Amino acid sequence: MSGKIAVVGAGSWGTALATVLDSKGIKLNLWIREEDLLKTIKDTRENSMYLPGVKLGENINPTGDMEECVDGCDAVVFSVPSHVVGSVVRSLAPSIKPRQRIVNVAKGLDSGTLKRLSQVIKEALPDNQVAVMSGPSHAEEVGKGIPTTVVAACPEREMAEYVQNLFMAPVFRVYTNPDIIGVEMGGALKNVIALGAGISDGLGYGDNAKAALMTRGIVEIARLGIKMGAKASTFAGLSGIGDLIVTCTSMHSRNRRAGIQIGQGKTLEQVLGGTHMVVEGVKATQAAHELSVLHGIEMPITKEIYSVLFEGADVKKSVENLMLRSKTHEVEEIVEGW
């Protein structure tokens, strides 16, 4: 193989990761779905729609042909919205060779099957190694070369270290973790809590409320993740509390921004209609709620956010429901036998 990399998806994150690879002198194909955007990027070397102000180097080859994008590449990086990962991978499956490594960087769950995205990819590409990369990483900062740290996860150590070596750069540090379940669940579910953090901000609540929401939110994420086979320690790491912090506190976060507007009184339809970016937390909330019911896991914050988004619940009433829940201990395993 040539050593070239394919990045499928030229949203803000795919474009930012392309700049990381470009900075290392790695040649890559960047697949761009929108014809107008493809022409603009070829003409200006800038993704003005999703990552304005960041120039794309000469190592990056923009293309609108998905099969051409992956042809002869050592690895294929999928950076498309979570709800289309399955369809995109299945459409490309005949063009992908077993030796090509697959890296998914989208954060979410498959809304149709409630499966993790690596599971969906593995079903379509059973002969390929599949890893994921996640963590606190706003594309806007990565594109500008601001120091960022993420985690590559795969049960196969050699594959995780391949991803680490591929992306590791002076301003982009990559750790490894065998717990792919925990890394994926943390990356998907933090968007749910970020919507809640935004709603809290939109309501005019302060730091106390947000701190409580984030702290109890990571408890919910860990509960569900552990039930699905994750390791508890993963949620104390970059793809757990790290990603949760950055997504709940930054205005770069489209999930937090969406939540702010909902807290200020806009409907979900109005919020989604006002952006060309995908708000991953909306579909993640639906999937997380369904999984909590399926597995019998108590996730009160997720339940209230689901009620606000999909059942028309009043946001202030939902806050009241959370505050007036039955009294409980903070850490149940500590107080057993107390």
What residue spans define the domains of the chain?
5-178, 181-335
Buried b / exposed e across 248-258, counting CB within 10 Å, b at 16+? bbeeebbbbbb
Query: Beta-carbon neighbour count of residue 91 at 10 Å?
Result: 13
CA distances from 244 to 40, 81, 117, 255, 271 (A): 34, 19, 19, 11, 22
Fold (topology level) of 181-335: N-(1-d-carboxylethyl)-l-norvaline Dehydrogenase; domain 2 (1.10.1040)
Counting as low any pLDDT under 50, the low residues of the chain are 1
pLDDT digits (tens, 9 = 90+) for 188-209: 999 999 999 999 999 999 999 9
| 181-335 and 5-178 share a CATH fold | no
Element (H, E) at 212: helix 207-227
Q: Which two tokens stand for residue 80?
A: 């498309």
Helix (H, G, I), strand (E, B) or coil at 128: coil
Q: Which two tokens stand for residue 295?
A: 């597995």
User: Domain 5-178 maps to which CATH number in 3.40.47.10, 3.40.50.300, 3.30.1330.10, 3.40.50.720?
Assistant: 3.40.50.720
pLDDT at 11: 95
Catalytic residues: 190
- Burial bucket for residue 234 (CB in 10 Å: 0-12, 13-18, 19+): buried
pLDDT at 295: 96
pLDDT at 1: 40
Closest CA to 308 of 297, 295, 296, 321: 321
0.75 exceeded by pTM: yes
Buried b / exposed e across 148-172, counting CB within 10 Å, b at 16+? bebbbbbeeeebbbbbbebbebeeb
